[in-house]
Amino acid sequence: MTVKGMKPIWYFVGLILLIMGGIIFLTGIYYLLNPSARFTVLSETHPNIWWGAIMILFGGILYIKNRKVTIS
């Protein structure tokens, strides 16, 4: 998309998913070690950990693939 030197949109999508996925994953690890006082249904499946990991994987692939790409 457009002028020389511009990062593609997929770079930004990868970056935000990587950051948010990382925070959610680490929160899941924290709650695994220190169980939360707030009960949610199916919390025993630790959705923060596996969903955060999926976000890291997806975001990471997009970020790495587009890290050095600029569009002319």
Partner 1 sequence: MPSIGLTPIDWIIILIYFAFVIGIGVYLRKFTTSEEDFFLAGRKNSSWVAGLAFLSANLGALELLGMTGNTFKYGMYVAHFYWIGAIPAMLFLGIYMMPFYYSSKIKSIPGYLKLRFDEKTRVLNGISFAIMTLLVSGINLYAMALVLHTFLGWNWDISMWASAVTVAVYVTLSGLMSAIFTEIIQFFLIWFGLFLVSIMGIIEIGSIDQILNRLPESMNTLWSTSADPTQNGMLIHWSGIVLGLGFVLSFGYWTTDFLVVQRAFSAKDLRAARMTPILASFFKMALPFIVILAGLIAIALSNDPNSGFKLLEDGGQVNYDSALPMLIKRYYPSGLVGLGVTALLAGFMAGQAGNISAFNTVWTYDIYKSVLNKNASDKHLLWMGRVSTVVGVIVSLGTAYWAKSFPSIMDYMQAIFSWVNAPLFATMLLGMFIWWITPNGAFWGLITGMLSSFLMYMGVKFHWFNESLITMSSVQSDMAANFWRAWWAWLICAVVTVVISLFTKKKPKEELVGLVKGLTEEKYDEHLPFVKKPEFVAIISLIVLVILNIIFW
List of residues contacting partner 1 (CB under 8 A): 1-3, 6-7, 9, 12-13, 16-17, 19-21, 23-24, 27-28, 31, 36, 38, 40-43, 45, 47-48, 51-52, 54-55, 58
Smallest gap, in angstroms, from Cβ of residue 9 to partner 1?
5
23: amino acid identity, one letter: I
Smallest gap, in angstroms, from Cβ of residue 60 to partner 1?
13
Residues 8, 71 contacting (CB under 8 angstroms): yes
CA distance 46 to 50: 7
